Structure 1
Amino acid sequence: MPGSRIIIVDDGRLVRECLAAQLRCHHIDAREAWDLPSLLKQVDAGPPDVILLNAGTADSAMLLQFCGDIDPRTKVVIYGLSMDRESEIVAAAEAGVAGLHLQSESFADLVTMVRSAGNGQALCSPEVSAVLMKRVYAFAAQAHPDSGTESLTARENEVLELLDQGLSNQQIATRLSVSLHTVKNHVHSVLAKLGVSSRAEAVTVFRAGKYAN
């Protein structure tokens, strides 16, 4: 994304200046800010394509909220996140950021994330994806508080586990040595008992029960 304009928001001068210098080596126009006034000054010169915000910067939550109101075309990438603080990861994702960069990830990963954000694509690591999926499972469990798998028969639970593995009805029939018609009946019963309308929703509820806690 040569020619793209990036603003780095980090109250640590050394890290901010080093990061800006490295990004410029990748032909990215990197500007610097360290608080709201300095960010406002940079934004007044024209809305950036991407804002890089250090999660550890003072008032980062307020700065993130401001970044989201700058321009619909401006994307935000958060860096400096830690797997030890999952709530920060979830909060950033809920704020609509385009990238979540962990402390354990490399500079090359960050450049890739910035380029993806500039192209309108969201990107995160498998570790971050796992945290966000756990959040989705928790929401699913809250949405179906009375639709746990306890009401399923042993065979229905078995069918649900195979659905979770991505097997088709025919593959399940072969695995369980039963007819396709029998499998369809089991799947219909599972959906009815879980209070959902699709196999995908059933799997989500199943995983919520396994991983929400």
Structure 2
Amino acid sequence: MIRVFVVAASPVVRAGLSAVVATSSKLTVVGSASDLDTFTKEFEQLQPDVVLLDVSGHFQELVWEKLLSSQQPYPFAIIILTDELDSINFEAALRAGVRSILPSISTESEIVAAVEAIALGLVVLHSDTIESVLPFKESSVREKDTSPVVQALTPREIEVLQMLGSGLGNKAIAKRLNISEHTVKFHVSSIFQKLSVSTRTEAVTVGVRLGLIML
């Protein structure tokens, strides 16, 4: 069961988001708060896996200030709901530990899917945010151009890694690329070795962080 804590200034929004989370049998709401300070006081006792943050108006500025001031990585995944996508510094957000940024108008199914995905270590961005993230992705690739990890991955391996990020199995990848399943297994094994990971989730997570793929 994935443990979720809801933070929102409005009691109505908190109740609504808690109800949305409760629609999934894989999720459970362990608590809610009107601000991050209150959440911090309850964190050790509740131990959530995911923190669902609704930010709006001046509350958004307070949230970013709090998140970016942390000197250590957070022991939980963060998902942001906002009505001001244009004002978000995506690079700073991702580096601060935010693993999903969704518009406030996201559907119940989109929110639930995002919570479940980031709990598994994935990064989830709404389609409306892709254009804003592209500059970050491109700069990340340029920064990593001299990295042996990026240079080691072949174009085909990056293609396979992208399909792993889409949740495809070996058989589906083989059919999509018109290659044998044995060849897919070889590529996956090579990706694991080059990225120093042992699972598909870890490989996708590292791939996103390096700017190799975009979910």
Give TM class, smaller chain: 0.5 to 0.7
Superposition deviation, residue 66 in structure 1? 6.9
* Structure 1 length-normalised TM: 0.55
Question: CA separation in 2, counterparts of 1:53 and 1:65?
Answer: 15
Superposition deviation, residue 14 in structure 1? 0.5
In the TM superposition, what are the counterparts of 1:20-31 in structure 2 within 5 Å? 20-27=18-25, 28-30=27-29, 31=31
Tell me if structure 1 keeps the 8 A contact 2:77–2:98.
yes
Give the match for residue 127 of structure 1.
128
Asked if residue 61 in structure 1 is aligned to residue 64 in structure 2, the reply is: yes
Q: Which runs of 5+ in 2 are unaligned?
A: 145-215
Question: CA separation in 2, counterparts of 1:18 and 1:67?
Answer: 28
* Structure 2 length-normalised TM: 0.55
Structure 2 residue identity aligned to 1:124: L
Give the match for residue 209 of structure 1.
none
In the TM superposition, what are the counterparts of 1:73-152 in structure 2 within 5 Å? 74-85=76-87, 87-137=88-138
Asked if residue 47 in structure 1 is aligned to residue 50 in structure 2, the reply is: no
Question: CA separation in 1, counterparts of 2:117 and 2:141?
Answer: 29
Structure 1 residue identity aligned to 2:47: P
Tell me if structure 2 keeps the 8 A contact 1:76–1:99.
yes
Asked if residue 19 in structure 1 is aligned to residue 21 in structure 2, the reply is: no
Question: CA separation in 2, counterparts of 1:98 and 1:41?
Answer: 22
Tell me if structure 2 keeps the 8 A contact 1:6–1:48.
yes
Question: CA separation in 2, counterparts of 1:112 and 1:67?
Answer: 27
Give the match for residue 38 of structure 1.
38
Tell me if structure 2 keeps the 8 A contact 1:9–1:53.
yes
Question: CA separation in 2, counterparts of 1:8 and 1:83?
Answer: 20
Residues 83 and 61 of structure 1: CA distance in aligned 2, closer, same or farther (over 3 Å): closer
Q: Which secondary structure state, in structure 1, belongs to the residue aligned with residue 98 of structure 2?
A: coil
Question: CA separation in 1, counterparts of 2:10 and 2:71?
Answer: 22
Q: Which secondary structure state, in structure 1, belongs to the residue aligned with residue 4 of structure 2?
A: strand
Structure 2 residue identity aligned to 1:96: G
Percent identical residues: 19
Structure 1 residue identity aligned to 2:67: L
Tell me if structure 1 keeps the 8 A contact 2:68–2:92.
no
Superposition deviation, residue 38 in structure 1? 1.7
